[in-house]
Structure 1
Amino acid sequence: MSTTTTTTAPPRTTQLRLSSGNGPVTRTVLTTPVREAKPEEVPIIDISPIFSPSLAARQAVADQIRAAATNNGFFYIVNHQIPTTTTAAAHDAALAFFRQPAAHKEPVSITHSTYQYGWKPPQTQRVNPFESIDHRESFSWRYDPVYDPSVSSPSSIPAHIRQHIRHDANGFPFSAVPPPFKAAVIPCWQAVLSLGRALLHSFALALGLDETTLDAKFTNPDLGMALNYYAPLPSSSATAEDDESLVSIGSHTDFQLFTLLWQDKVGGLQVLSREGQWLHAAPMKGAFVVNFGDYMQRITNDRFASTVHRVRNVSGEERLSMAFFFGFNLDETCDVLDSCVGEGESKRYEPVACHEWTERRVRAMHDVRGRMGGEGKSIHPRAIGSFCVPSTLYLVVTS
C-alpha cells in the first residue's frame, strides 16, 4: 500500500523596513493582496455603556477592548456621544481650508510658529524613510490648556507639568486661521478630549486596574490633533495601486498611548495584522477608529499591540481624516505596569520620560530625505517634541 504526502509551500513574504526609538526593526509582511478586515480582526464596539453608572456595564466594554487590544490593536467605536454635527462641521471647515491656494494657507504655515504648529505643505513629511514622501498636507497642533474646559486657568497647572506644555504665546496657529475654521475645529477637539478621558477609564479596566488608576498621568494630556488632506496618489508606469512604496502616509506606529481617528467615506487606511496581512479598515459612518501606540505597548509589556498602519489613497478622490493622539502628561514616566508582569516574567522595557520618548520619535518627522536620497526640508531643533502628527519608526535622524 502506498501513500502520498502533499506538502504546502509556505506563504510568500517580504520584509517591511521600519525603525524604532531604540533602533532598526523589520516586520514580516505577506505578499498577498490587501484585503478587507474581517469583523473579528477590526471589531466594532458599542461604547455607550461606558457612560453608565453600572460598573458591570463599563467592565463589559473594557473586556471587548482588551480582546481587540490583544489581537490587532485596532477597533471601531460607535455610540460615543460626539454628535455628527460636530465632526461634520470640523470636516467641512478643514476641507475648505485645504482647497485654498497655497498662498492663502501660508499665513498659518509652520514657518511662523516657534514649535512648528500649523499648516504643513505637500512634500514636506515622510514618516517612513524607506517609502515615498507622504502624499499629503496637514494642519496640526498640540495641547493648549486655554481650550481645555477642565482647566480654570493655565496658571493653575503645576509648574512641573506646565514646563512641558509647548504652544505659541500669541495663540498661533488659531490666532491666524479664518474664524469659521477655529469655530468648527476647536469644539471638535474639545469633544474628543472629553471622550478620550472617558476611554482612559475603560483602558484601565481592560488592564485589570481600578478605572481611575491612570487619571493622575492624564490631567493635561499631550493631546495632538492632525487634520490630514490626501490628494489621490499619482499614477505611474506601475499603477499607484500596485506600487507598494508609494504612500499617502508611510507605514508607522503611533508613539503615544492611543489614537482616535475620524475618517471620511473615501477610505485608504490599512492595518498590518499580527499575521503580517495588510487589511483595509474601511470607513464606517459615525464611527471613530481607535488604535494603541507605543506607550500602551510599553506599559503593558507587549500585551496590547502598537500596530503598524499606513494610508494609501488610490481612490482617485481627495480624502480627509482627523486624527487625535493622546499621550500622558509630558512630565510623566512611561514604565511597565506591575500588573502586566506575570509570574516568571520580567519587564521588557526600561522606564522612559514621556517628553524624552516624544523627542526621540519626532526628530525626523519633517526630514523628507531619510535613507532614500533627494532634497527636502529638515526640522528646526527648537521644534523637537512639538508635532501632533502620527509617529513613525525611524532608523536615522538627518536633520
Structure 2
Amino acid sequence: MDIIPVVDFDPYRLGIGDVTDENLRELGEELKKAFCEVGFVYLKNTGIDQKEVNEVLDVSKKFFMLPENKKSAFKRGSCAIHRNHGWISVGAESLNPRRPHDLKEAFNTSSLRTDIEWPSDVDGFRDIHTSFFLRCKELSLRVLRVMALSLDLEPNVFLKEHERIGSETNGSTLRSLYYPPVKNEHVKDGQIRCGEHSDYGSITLVFQGHEGGLQVLNRNGEYISAPSIPGTVLINIADLMQRWTSDVFVSAVHRVLLPPAGDSSARQSLAFFVQPDDDVIITCCDGSDKYPAVNAGDYLMARFKDTYS
C-alpha cells in the first residue's frame, strides 16, 4: 500500500454515547486493514478539532521560544514524581543511535499531578496541555476498544491495562515537538530531524502542523510520505501492541527528514504516546509464545536507555 488510508471515526467520535455494533464492526474492519498493512491510519471526525490542536501548538511555541535558561528549569528528569516529564533540549535524543543526534526539542506532559512545577512564563501552558492530554486519553481508549473488537477479543481487553493513564504508574505521554529551522552548514553527515524508529508502547496519536517531513516505512521496505491533513489524527501501532497481537498489528518504522535546501521554516507536531500501566505483563493475546512475556514499565525504561545513552 503506497498511501496511508483515511478512516471516518464519526460514529464513535468523542461526545457520542451510544454506538451500534454495526458501526463498531465496520470501524474495526477498516482499522484492522490499515494497521495490518501499513501500521498507520488517519482518523477524521474524531471529536478533536483543528482549533484545539492549534491552541496546543501555539502555546508550546511560546515556550520553545524562551531563553534556554528559562526552559532548563523544567528539564526532563528534574521531576521526581515522573522522570519522563519535562523539557528535552535539541540534541538530547538519538532515536536512531546510528545517526547523529536528532534536530528537535520537546516538552513531555507525563503527569497530571497538581504538586509539580510547570512553566509560568507562558500563560495557559499547563491548563492547555493537561486538557489536551485528557482529550487524547479519551480518544485513545475508544480506538483501543475498536481494535480489540476487530480481533474478536473481549472489548475491554486492552482498556483494563490502561486504567492509570495520567498517573505516575503509567508512562503515557503527550509530547509537544519543535523542530527549529535548519542551518545546512551546521548539519552533520547523516543527521536528520528525527531518526528512524518505531514507538514503544500500544499506539501513538500524532497531530501535525502544516509542515512536511514525516515518512513511514511500508511493508515493501519503502518510505512513503505522511503529510499533514488538517482535522485528522494520524495513529500508529507501537512495539508492545505488535508483541501483544503476535504481529497481527504492525509497528511501523518512521522518521522526520530535513527540510528542502533553502527552506528555513520550523516544524511542529504533537504526539500522544499510549502506554500500558507500568505493572502490566504483555503476553501474546492469541495464547502463543511468539514473544516472551515482558513488563510494560521495564520495557519502556529499556527503550529510554537506548534513546538517551
Judge same fold: TM > 0.5, yes or no: yes
Structure 1 vs Structure 2 CA RMSD: 2.1
The answer to whether the aligner puts 1:335 opposite 2:280 as a matched pair is no
In 1, distance between residues paired with 2:252 and 2:299?
18
Q: Distance in 2 between matches of 1:175 and 1:311?
A: 27
Amino acid paired to 1:132: P
Describe the SS at the equivalent of 1:138.
strand
Match of 2:175, as an amino acid?
Answer: A
Letter of the 1:84 partner, please give it: Q
Instruction: Tell me if the contact between 2:85 and 2:111 (Cα under 8 Å) persists in the aligned partners.
Output: no
Equivalent pairs counted in the alignment come to: 295
1:175: Cα distance to partner? 6.4
After superposing the two structures, state which structure 1 stretch, 246-255 or 48-57, moved more: 48-57
Verify: 1:225 aligned to 2:174, yes or no.
yes
Is 1:284 the counterpart of 2:229? The answer is yes
Decide whether the 8 Å contact of 1:86 with 1:187 is kept in 2: no
Shift of 1:176: 5.2
Aligned position for 1:43: 5
Of 253, 256, 269, which residue of structure 1 is paired with 2:198?
253
Check conservation: 1:269, 1:281, Cα contact below 8 A: yes
8 Å Cα contact 1:233/1:312 also seen in 2: no
The separation in 2 between residues aligned to 1:73 and 1:116, in whole angstroms, is 26
Larger radius of gyration: 1
Structure 1 letter corresponding to 2:299? W
Q: 1:133 to 1:61 in 2, by over 3 A?
A: same
Moved over 3 A (4+): 175-179
- 1:303 has 2:248 as partner: yes
Equivalent position amino acid for 1:101 in 2: P
CA distance in 1, matches of 2:110, 2:84: 10
Task: Report the Cα distance in structure 1 between the residues aligned to 2:182 and 2:302, rounded to whole angstroms.
Answer: 30
After TM superposition, give the deviation of residue 333 of structure 1 in Å. Answer: 0.7
After TM superposition, list the pairs within 5 Å mapping 1:96-135 onto structure 2: 96-110=62-76, 112-114=78-80, 115-135=83-103
Question: Does the CA contact (< 8 Å) of 2:76 and 2:86 recur in 1?
Answer: yes
**CA distance, structure 1, for counterparts of residue 293 and residue 278 of structure 2:** 14
The one-letter code of the counterpart of 1:92 is D
User: In 1, distance between residues paired with 2:276 and 2:296?
Assistant: 7
Which amino acid letter does the alignment assign opposite residue 294 of structure 2? V
Residue equivalent to 1:76: 42
Instruction: Please report how far the alpha carbon of residue 181 of structure 1 lies from its aligned counterpart in structure 2 after TM superposition.
Output: 1.1
- Identify the residue that residue 313 of structure 1 maps to in structure 2: 258
- Residue aligning to 2:273: 325
Assess if the C-alpha contact under 8 Å between 1:232 and 1:313 holds in 2. Answer: no
Cα shift at 1:182:
1.3
Q: 2:145 is matched by which residue type in structure 1?
A: H
1:233–1:246 CA contact under 8 A, matched in 2:
no
User: Residues 17-67 of structure 1: CA distance to partner in whole angstroms, max 9, x if unpaired?
Assistant: xxxxxxxxxxxxxxxxxxxx84xx310011112245211111101100000
Give the unaligned 5+ runs of structure 2: none
Give the structure 2 partner of residue 366 of structure 1.
Answer: 308
Q: Supply the distance in 1 between the matched residues of 2:159 and 2:67 (Cα, whole angstroms).
A: 43
Cα shift at 1:232: 3.3
Using the alignment, how far apart are the partners of 1:267 and 1:204 within structure 2? 32
SS in 1 for 2:289: coil
The letter for the 2-side match of 1:288 is V
- 3-state DSSP of counterpart to 2:308: coil
- Counterpart AA for 1:326: V
- Contact kept, 8 Å, 1:291 with 1:306, in 2: the verdict is yes
Structure 1 gap ranges (5+): 1-36, 148-169, 368-399
1:348 counterpart residue number: 290
**Retained in 2: the 8 A contact 1:201–1:212?**
yes
Q: Mapping of 1:159-308 within 5 angstroms?
A: 170-172=115-117, 174=118, 178-221=122-165, 222=170, 223-236=172-185, 245-308=190-253
Cα distance in 2 for partners of 1:304, 1:271 equals 15
Corresponding residue of 1:139: 107
8 Å contact kept, 2:79–2:116: no
Change in 2 beyond 3 A, CA 1:116/1:281: closer
Q: Deviations over 1:329-381 (max 9, x none)?
A: 1111111002xx6xxxx4210111111111221113223xxxxxxxxxxxxxx
Deviation at 1:278, TM superposition (A): 0.8
CA distance in 1, matches of 2:123, 2:208: 23
Identity of aligned residues (%): 24
